């Protein structure tokens, strides 16, 4: 795996700062937020300087029960080619459920939800990853996500699940140490145990980010400074394997550039501290009388010392899969349907208010449902910034109330239109300036073409129609 170095998530709000930031070797961009034919000038200038740009997808839904959408895969491939990227990344998550597979309404989560760590889910995920690998022009790496909820009756730990995924598909891993911290606080999972079980040689790069605690729940916000426990997990990881790349994620509430540079310096220091610890531990181990090392060639997954500690002595052959391994068998469609029914029941409870499926924590599901509604409100405010301006301080309360009874069926732009329509038809706004402006905004965008901006424009349109006759 090529070494990337230190990077930062490129966002339009900090584009200028990133360009002038010292020591930035590469950047990551949200794939869905860039258009291949109209790349931002800032990204083009970074590319000209030799800075690698990696597209990071958020909507493919590799953990969905259905197969990945061919159009979404083609769009991700197009972005990778336009950016000259060495790889692309996505998440181990499901983002939609329902539809023909389960004979139920299709629902969109609007955010990343955890897949159950079960054999069925792993089988589906492996086949979906293979489909994506075949469609993409560069290698794929997949990221562990932060979770507020846990599925009942899971059969594997996170480390075991990721190990088998990488072993069966050869996919690379994007390890988010902030998400390991989140799952430690919210689900009681030990980050050190997860790292010990991971196929470290499969790591493509590492994410680092901040969050906040509210009412005993840690929220992975990407809008706060990186806390010390996350840096400690990064140091632990770096003591086990030298990560090819480490990237700071920040999505909003951006600080001054000097503060971002300080955080990047702290991240570098955490990696260096881990590498020093690892070097000392390995030097000490080589002096032991009974230390032996088994070297594995091929995928490089599973190399361990006799004491069970993973080393970095595995070699990686990326040219071809092991010919001795049998080809993967076709997945039974009933497996997809079982997973689809479980995901649809959970998502319906979260976004449509249906009963909580058996075995789930009702309180924690309520926290997740509110988090999904808040996420929708935030994203809609970005894609339709006129709505908060029109509705003022009442926008967020109104949207969250709407979201709790109205699942998202399309994208965020359609969600904005549906919210405006429901607000107008539901009588939540009395006659006045806000209602008039919201009605005008909705009418301008809800038809097949924009409305004329003035009465003169309407006259012009009528005139052109008459002339064509």
Long-range contacts of 381-384 (CB under 8 A, 24+ apart): 383/412, 383/413, 383/416, 384/413, 384/416
> Mean pLDDT lowest for which of 111-120, 171-180, 213-222?
213-222
pLDDT for res 452: 59
Q: Tell me the pLDDT band of 326, cut-offs 50, 70 and 90.
A: low
Q: Which two tokens stand for residue 256?
A: 């001054």
Q: How far apart are CA 257 and CA 375, in angstroms?
A: 26
Read off the pLDDT of each residue in 171-180 and give the average, rounded to a whole number: 98
pLDDT for res 312: 44
Structure-token match 């009933």, residue found: 334
Q: Which two tokens stand for residue 108?
A: 């969109």
Q: Tell me the pLDDT band of 169, cut-offs 50, 70 and 90.
A: very high
pLDDT for res 350: 95
Contact 250, 14 (CB under 8 A): yes
Q: What is the pLDDT of residues 244-301, one digit of tens each?
A: 999 999 999 999 999 999 999 999 999 999 999 999 888 888 776 555 444 433 444 4
Residue 214: strand pairing partners: 217
pLDDT for res 330: 73
Cα dist. 280→239, 269, 273, 309 in Å?
9, 17, 11, 14
The answer on pLDDT for 308 being more than 50 is: no
Q: How far apart are CA 399 and CA 344, in angstroms?
A: 23
- Structure-model confidence comparison of residues 427 and 229, the more confident one: 229
Q: How far apart are CA 341 and CA 97, in angstroms?
A: 8
217 phi/psi in degrees, rounded to 5: -120, 135
Q: Tell me the pLDDT band of 325, cut-offs 50, 70 and 90.
A: low
> What per-residue string of b and e applies to 202-214 under the rule 16 or more CB within 10 Å gives b?
bbbbbbbbbbeee
Read off the pLDDT of each residue in 413-433 and give the average, rounded to a whole number: 87
Which strand (E) or helix (H) includes residue 285? helix 257-286
The answer on pLDDT for 467 being more than 60 is: no
Contact 45, 18 (CB under 8 A): no
pLDDT for res 309: 44
Q: How far apart are CA 192 and CA 211, in angstroms?
A: 20
Q: How far apart are CA 293 and CA 309, in angstroms?
A: 10
CA angle at 73 for the pair 62 and 46, rounded to the nearest 5°: 105
Task: Give this prediction's pTM.
Answer: 0.84
Read off the pLDDT of each residue in 307-334 and give the average, rounded to a whole number: 52
Q: How far apart are CA 136 and CA 130, in angstroms?
A: 10
Q: Tell me the pLDDT band of 11, cut-offs 50, 70 and 90.
A: very high
Contact 29, 54 (CB under 8 A): yes
Read off the pLDDT of each residue in 50-69 and give the average, rounded to a whole number: 97
């Amino acid at each position: 795996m090529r070494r990337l170095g230190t990077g930062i998530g490129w966002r339009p709000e900090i584009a200028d700062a990133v360009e002038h930031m010292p020591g930035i070797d590469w950047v990551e961009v949200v794939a869905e937020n860039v258009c291949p034919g109209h790349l931002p000038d800032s990204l083009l200038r970074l590319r000209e300087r030799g800075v690698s740009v990696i597209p990071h997808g958020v909507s493919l839904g590799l953990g969905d029960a259905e197969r990945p959408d061919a159009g979404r895969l083609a769009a991700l491939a197009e972005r990778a080619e336009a950016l000259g990227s060495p790889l692309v990344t996505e998440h181990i998550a499901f983002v939609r459920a329902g539809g023909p597979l389960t004979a139920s309404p299709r629902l969109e989560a609007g955010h990343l939800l955890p897949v159950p760590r079960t054999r069925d889910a792993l089988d589906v995920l492996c086949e979906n990853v293979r489909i994506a690998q075949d469609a993409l022009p560069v290698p794929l790496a997949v990221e562990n996500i932060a979770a507020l909820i846990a599925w009942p009756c899971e059969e594997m730990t996170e480390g075991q699940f990721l190990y088998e995924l990488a072993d069966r598909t050869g996919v690379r891993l994007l390890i988010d140490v902030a998400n390991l911290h989140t799952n430690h606080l919210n689900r009681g999972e030990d980050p050190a145990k997860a790292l010990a079980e991971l196929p470290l040689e499969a790591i493509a790069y590492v994410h680092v980010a901040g969050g906040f605690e509210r009412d005993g729940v840690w929220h992975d916000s990407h809008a706060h400074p990186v806390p010390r426990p996350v840096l400690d997990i990064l140091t632990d990881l770096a003591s086990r394997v030298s990560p090819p790349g480490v990237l700071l994620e920040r999505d909003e509430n951006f600080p001054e550039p000097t503060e971002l540079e300080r955080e990047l310096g702290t991240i570098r220091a955490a990696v260096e501290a881990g590498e020093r610890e690892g070097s000392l531990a390995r030097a000490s181990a080589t002096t032991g009388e009974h230390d032996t090392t088994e070297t594995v060639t091929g995928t490089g997954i599973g190399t361990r010392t006799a004491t069970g500690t993973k080393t970095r002595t595995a070699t990686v052959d990326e040219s071809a899969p092991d010919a001795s391994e049998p080809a993967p068998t076709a997945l039974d469609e009933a497996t997809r349907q079982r997973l689809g029914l479980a995901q649809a029941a959970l998502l319906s409870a979260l976004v449509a208010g249906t009963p909580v499926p058996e075995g789930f924590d009702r309180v924690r599901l309520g926290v997740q449902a509110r988090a999904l509604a808040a996420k929708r409100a935030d994203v809609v405010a970005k894609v339709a910034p006129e709505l908060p301006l029109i509705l003022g301080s009442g926008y967020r309360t109104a949207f969250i109330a709407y979201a709790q009874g109205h699942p998202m069926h399309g994208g965020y732009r359609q969600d904005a239109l549906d919210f405006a329509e429901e607000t107008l038809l539901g009588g939540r706004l009395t006659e006045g300036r806000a209602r008039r402006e919201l009605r005008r905004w909705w009418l301008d965008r809800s038809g097949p073409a924009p409305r004329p901006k003035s009465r003169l424009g309407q006259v012009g349109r009528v005139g052109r129609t008459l002339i064509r006759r």
